[in-house]
Amino acid sequence: MIRLLQIEFIKLWNNRISKILILSYFILLTSIALVAAIKFDIGPIKFHLAEQGIFNFPYIWHFTTYIAAFFKLFLAIVIVSMMANEYVNKTIKQNLIDGLSKKEFVLSKFLTVVSFALISTLFVFVVSLVLGLVYSDYNEPAIMLSDLEFIAAFFVKLVGFFTLCLFLGILVKRSAFALGFLILWMIVEQLLFGFLAWILASWDTAAAIKDLFPLQSMSNLIDEPFSRLNAVQSVAAQMGEKFALDYHVHWYEILIVLAWTAIFIYGSYALLRKRDL
Partner 1 sequence: MTAVKNLSFTIEKGNVYGILGPNGSGKSTTLGIVLNVVNKTHGDFFWFDGHTSTHDALKKVGAIIERPNFYPYMTATQNLKLVCMIKEVSEEKIEEKLEIVGLLDRKDSKFRTYSLGMKQRLAIASALLNDPEILILDEPTNGLDPQGIHQIREIIKQIAAQGTTILLASHLLDEVEKVCSHVIILRKGEKLYSGRVDGMRASHGFFELKSDNPDHLKAYLERSASFGEVKLENGLVTAILKEEMDAAELNRSLVSQGIVLSHLVKRKESLEEQFLALTENQANPKTP
b (16+ CB within 10 A) / e for 102-136: bebbbbbbbbbbbebbeebbebbbebbbebbeebb
Question: Is 10 one of the binding residues for partner 1 (CB under 8 A)?
Answer: yes
Give me the least distance between CB of 199 and partner 1, in Å please. 40
Peptide bond into 225 cis (omega under 30): no
Q: Which stretch binds partner 1 (CB under 8 A): 65-73, 92-100, 167-175, 251-259?
A: 92-100
> Which of 28, 49, 96, 188 contacts partner 1 by CB under 8 A?
96
Nearest-approach distance from CB 97 to partner 1, in angstroms: 5
Identified binder of partner 1 from the candidate list 34, 97, 142, 187, rule CB under 8 A = 97
Residue 85 vs 219, nearer CB to partner 1: 85
Which sign does the torsion angle of CA 97, 103, 107, 110 carry? positive
Residue among 89, 190, 202, 227 that touches partner 1 (CB under 8 A): 89
Residue number with CB closer to partner 1 (81 or 220):
81
Is the Cβ of residue 15 or residue 52 nearer to partner 1 in the bound state? 15
By CB under 8 A, tell whether 115 contacts partner 1. no
How many residues bind partner 1, per CB under 8 A?
24
- Which residues have CB under 8 Å from 249's CB, separation 6+? 149, 150, 152, 153, 221, 222
Residue 7 makes contact with partner 1 by CB under 8 A: yes
| Span interacting with partner 1, options 27-35, 98-106, 138-146, 197-205, rule CB under 8 A | 98-106
Minimal CA–CA distance to 154: which of 89, 69, 28? Answer: 69
- Please select the residue that binds partner 1; options are 64, 95, 120, 121, rule is CB under 8 A: 95
Residue 101 vs 205, nearer CB to partner 1: 101
CB of 96 to partner 1, least distance (A): 5
The angle formed by the CA atoms of residues 121, 53 and 70, to the nearest 5 degrees, is 35
Residue 257: exposure state from Cβ atoms within 10 A (0-12, 13-18, ≥19): buried
List binders of partner 1 among 235-274 (CB under 8 A).
273-274
Q: Output the smallest distance, CB 22 to partner 1, in A.
A: 15
Task: Give the span between the Cα atoms of 133 and 143, in whole angstroms.
Answer: 12
Q: 1, 16, 183, 241: which one contacts partner 1 (CB under 8 A)?
A: 16
Residues near partner 1 (CB under 8 A)? 3, 6-7, 10-11, 14-16, 89-91, 93-101, 273-274, 276-277
